[in-house]
């Protein structure tokens, strides 16, 4: 099967960011499919005047067009980037053609080129929902204009209405899709996956990393690796580091990542007196370097702030990376992924509004060797049994194949 895969933010392991599309794409190639990834060059590594550039990444034919984008950009500029990519990718996807279009959001505007290419080529489209757009940006105040909100909701229904099947990354996302009137039998829940092989790093690698940093050495390490955006709430970690410092000044907090909140978080850490004391920051690193840092860590954090709609069905890459690495996950929200970790003994939920209690809970966990060992085992088991990327990729392949076969037979899946 020839699959036209649309993802504006596709990255490889040599780039910072989540690699779900890369991992799924390469497994589809290994299963015998021809995969064409239509994506954007966000960092400007290619000459924009050359038009579309095509590379091969693990067997995936990747079509790149230069559309600058970053979390630090003003929201208006990001909207422009969404529509610029939609315009360019629509024509490229239709030119490439195939047996099926698979489009993954966000942004929701990815539905525009997906529907265009599917209609032009007379093939089905499967739409993947990673975040609840437009509900989340509306809740965060990013979409304030009533007309913008109305158009965004219309685009949401346009995406679902033209999809032969919808893939949701969490049960709550499935429910939200069904609430729009979409047939429940045509929605599958296929969460993000744990890349067990990628994160199976020898302990010596983590120890080597620790030895390179005098501020770390053999001290306990609490890690955040990801985007510092509006909803990520990394300022919570600054306040937590300040509270923990009163209980155990040896515990270290490390934030690795980029985004529009970097300087605000750095300034806050400086004001709190924790920067370069027990709180440290590093720039974003390629995905293939993340496993070594998880190996060096004791606890991994997944954070959110804002209204409940933002975090209740959140599916964060760092959660699945922690499971793959066998590291307990610490959340400050009571959402889908945090409840799974807590129920299976693989993590903690810290109170978001009670920093002294959160500090006591975290410090107590770190100084409880028995709990730490059991949580590490539980995390790895959870990644292997519930979130194995291999199994989830096979489930997605079955959905795509069924949609293609039913389309040929004149039926909707």
Q: Residue 393 and residue 399: Cα distance in Å, rounded?
A: 10
Whole-prediction pTM value? 0.90
Pairing mode of beta strands 60-66, 53-57 = antiparallel
- Going by C-beta distance under 8 Å and a sequence separation of 6 or more, which residues neighbour residue 301? 222, 223, 224, 237, 318, 329, 330, 331, 332
* The two structure tokens encoding residue 146: 């009533």
Contact predicate 114/103, CB 8 Å: yes
Domain 2-193+388-408: CATH architecture, name and number where available: 3-Layer(aba) Sandwich (3.40)
Q: Residue 42 and residue 31: Cα distance in Å, rounded?
A: 29
Does 203-385 match 2-193+388-408 at the fold level?
yes
Angstrom CA distances, 87 to 66, 123, 408, stand at 12, 19, 28
Classify residue 261 as left (phi > 0), alpha (psi -120 to 50) or beta: alpha
Res 413: pLDDT: 53
Q: Nearest Cα to 6, choosing from 64, 84, 54?
A: 64
Pairing mode of beta strands 279-282, 34-41 = unpaired
pLDDT in tens, the chain (413 residues): 999 999 999 999 999 888 999 999 999 999 999 999 999 998 777 776 678 999 999 999 999 999 988 777 777 788 889 999 999 999 999 999 999 999 999 889 999 999 999 999 999 999 999 887 777 777 777 777 888 888 888 999 999 999 999 999 999 999 999 999 999 999 999 999 999 999 999 999 999 999 999 999 999 999 999 999 888 889 999 999 999 999 999 999 999 999 999 999 999 999 999 999 999 999 999 999 999 999 999 999 999 887 777 777 777 889 999 999 999 999 999 988 999 999 999 999 999 999 999 999 999 999 999 999 999 999 999 999 999 999 999 999 999 999 999 998 886 55
Which DSSP symbol is given to 197? T
Q: Residue 149 and residue 140: Cα distance in Å, rounded?
A: 12
203-385: CATH class: alpha beta
3-state secondary structure of 12: coil
Domain ranges of the chain: 2-193+388-408, 203-385
| Beta bridge pairs of residue 224 | 255
Q: Which long-range contacts (CB under 8 A, 24 or more apart) does 41-45 make?
A: 41/65, 41/66, 41/67, 42/9, 42/67, 42/68, 42/69, 42/70, 43/15, 43/68, 44/68
List, in sequence order, the alpha helices (H) in 125-195: 135-139, 146-161, 171-179
């Amino acid at each position: 099967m020839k699959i036209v895969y649309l993802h504006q933010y596709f990255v490889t392991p040599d780039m910072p960011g989540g690699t779900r599309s890369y991992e799924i794409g390469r497994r589809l190639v290994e299963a015998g499919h021809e995969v064409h990834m239509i994506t954007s060059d966000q960092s400007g590594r290619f000459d924009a005047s050359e038009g579309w550039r095509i590379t091969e990444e693990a067997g995936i034919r990747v079509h790149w067009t230069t559309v600058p984008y970053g979390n630090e950009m003003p929201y208006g500029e990001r909207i422009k980037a969404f529509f610029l990519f939609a315009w360019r990718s629509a024509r490229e996807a239709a030119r490439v053609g195939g047996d099926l279009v698979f489009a993954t959001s966000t942004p929701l505007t990815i539905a525009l080129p997906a529907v265009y290419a599917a209609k032009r080529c007379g093939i089905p489209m499967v739409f993947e929902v990673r975040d609840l757009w437009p509900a989340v940006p509306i809740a965060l105040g990013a979409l304030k204009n009533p007309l913008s909100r109305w158009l965004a909701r219309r685009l949401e229904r346009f995406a679902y209405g033209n999809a032969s099947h919808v893939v949701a990354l969490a049960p709550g996302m499935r429910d939200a899709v069904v609430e729009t009137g979409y047939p429940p039998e045509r929605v599958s829940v296929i969460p993000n996956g744990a890349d067990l092989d990628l994160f199976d790093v020898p302990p010596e690698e983590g120890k080597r990393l620790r030895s390179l940093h005098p501020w770390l050495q053999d001290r306990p390490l609490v890690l955040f690796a990801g985007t510092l955006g509006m909803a990520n709430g990394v300022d919570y970690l600054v306040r937590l580091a300040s509270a923990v410092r009163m209980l155990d000044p040896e515990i270290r907090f490390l934030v690795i990542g980029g985004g529009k909140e970097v300087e605000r978080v750095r300034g806050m850490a400086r004001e709190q007196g924790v920067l370069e004391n027990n709180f440290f920051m590093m720039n974003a690193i390629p995905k293939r370097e993340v496993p070594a840092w998880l190996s060096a860590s004791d606890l991994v954090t997944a954070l959110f702030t804002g209204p409940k709609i933002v975090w209740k069905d959140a599916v964060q890459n760092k959660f699945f990376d922690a499971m793959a690495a066998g590291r307990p996950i610490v959340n400050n929200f009571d959402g889908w992924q945090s409840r799974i970790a807590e129920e299976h003994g693989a993590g903690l939920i810290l109170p978001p509004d009670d920093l002294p209690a959160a500090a006591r809970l975290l410090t107590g966990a770190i100084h409880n060797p028995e709990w730490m060992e059991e949580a590490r085992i539980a995390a790895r088991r959870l990644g292997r049994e519930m979130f194995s990327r291999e199994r989830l990729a096979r489930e997605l392949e079955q959905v795509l194949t069924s949609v293609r076969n039913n389309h040929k037979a004149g039926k909707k899946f």
